[in-house]
Amino acid sequence: MDKLCVKDDGARRKPMTPPTVCQPSSILEVDSCHVPDEEDWDDDFASITSSIVDYEFENGRRYHAYKAGSAYPSIVLYARVLTAVAQLDYPYPNDELEQDRLDLQHHVITLLLNGELHLAPLENPKRILDLGTGTGLWAIEMADNFPNATVIGTDLSPVQPNMVPDNVRFEISDAESDWMYQENSFDYIHSRYLLGSITDWQAMIQRAYKHCKPGAYFEMQDLDPRLTSDDDSLSRSPMHSMFCKLIVDASEQYGKPVPRYSQYKGWLEEAGFVDVREYLFKIPVNTWPKNKQLKEVGKYQLLNYTEGYEAIGIGLFTRSLKWQPTEFQVLLARLRQELKDRTIHAYQHFAVVVGRKPFSSRSSDSTPAPIGQ
């Protein structure tokens, strides 16, 4: 594995080998001596509500208002900058339950990456942009790690907290619209879990390229929801397998294609990034692995899916696939039984891809030069 530099104490830097679980070609060992987990899930995840914008309610969940033609008011409130953006047809809720799930998801990925927030070799960045910041936890923690940097988190919903470090601000903005920042102005741009939110991935990556300073890094962290296993146990999980396949199909029909984990690296290279590195991880869906770190990851991923699959799927299934809500709930009930079955050794790939904008960068509006020129 290539070595990356990660933040040490804010002044010094040390080389680091990426987490040892980053071995996509290896077969995960099954824990045959498993002791049932205590059901002592932490429930202290932050839930922040907002009454700044009007929301829509559907199937008992609150959504970012998705009817085209309306727009947010321009408001500045505490650490939030609310800019006028079109309200898009967005299939995922933004209510308190979903905010809890997003915070849990942040915990899962932090565990997976050995506590690291990034794998890009950052050193004293001054301007950091977080696309799709969600509840803002990643942006807040980055601001704590880099107190001399300004961290901007953008999202479609104002669900971030008001009490944040002085060097953080949140903006309501669409990553697929024209960005209201100067080009060549960020030292680091980050995106995580934009899955199901992007219509044109390559265009979004090209925007990131334009807004990175020469020498700056762009890092994408995202899940491939397609379910897999290293043995034949997935054949005993027909409901979960079908759910994941239908999520991909429904998102495609919704105009939000779901990339395979292997596609991101090539897209960064096509946009002009160099030194592009890809790190692949396996996220188990429950506690079946023998590896202690992955067992812990699977513990929280099981909670994430058991409590969160409704939010992930109901909008797509009822809007795109035209399912009835009761049909979807029946599928969920059957699916949850499979999720808890430790004899099913299912996992999903999680990709971290890091690219650097070359120092002698091409003009932002010129044709990309071939890699190596």
Candidates 165, 139, 162; CA nearest to 151 is 139
Q: Given the structure tokens 């790690």, which residue do they identify?
A: 145
pLDDT the model gives residue 173? 87
**Which of 170, 164, 177 has the alpha carbon at shortest distance from 52?**
170
Question: Which tokens sit at 168?
Answer: 């953080």
pTM of the shown model: 0.79
For 85: left if phi > 0, alpha if psi spans -120 to 50, otherwise beta; the answer is beta
The pLDDT of residue 40? 39
Name the amino acid, one letter, at 162: N
- 188 forms beta bridges with 128, 217
The pLDDT, as a whole number, for residue 66 is: 34
- DSSP letter string over 293-315? HHHHHHHHHHHHHHHHHHHHHHH
> For every one of its 373 residues, what pLDDT tens digit does the chain have, with 9 covering 90 and above?
333 333 333 333 333 455 555 555 677 888 776 555 444 333 332 332 333 344 454 555 445 553 333 333 333 333 434 333 333 467 788 888 888 999 999 999 999 999 999 999 999 999 999 999 999 999 999 999 999 999 999 998 888 988 899 999 999 888 998 899 999 999 999 999 999 899 999 999 999 999 999 999 999 999 999 999 999 999 999 999 999 999 999 999 999 999 999 999 999 999 999 999 999 999 999 999 999 999 999 999 999 999 999 989 999 999 999 999 999 999 999 999 999 999 999 999 999 999 999 997 554 444 343 333 3
Maximum CA pair distance of the chain?
Answer: 59
Cα separation of 4 and 2, whole Å?
7
Q: Which residues of 352-365 are buried (b: 16+ CB within 10 A; e: fewer)?
A: bbbbbbbeebeeee
Write down the pLDDT at residue 67.
33
The distance of Cα 280 from the centroid of its chain, to the nearest Å, equals 14
Task: Please state, in angstroms and rounded to a whole number, the distance separating the CA atoms of residues 218 and 130.
Answer: 10
Whole-angstrom distance, CA of residue 175 vs CA of residue 178: 8
Q: Which helix (H) or strand (E) holds 267?
A: helix 264-271
**Eight-state DSSP code of residue 248:** H
Beta-carbon-side half-sphere exposure of residue 293 (alpha carbons within 13 Å): 15
Q: What is the distance between the alpha carbons of residues 356 and 210, in angstroms, rounded to a whole number? A: 12
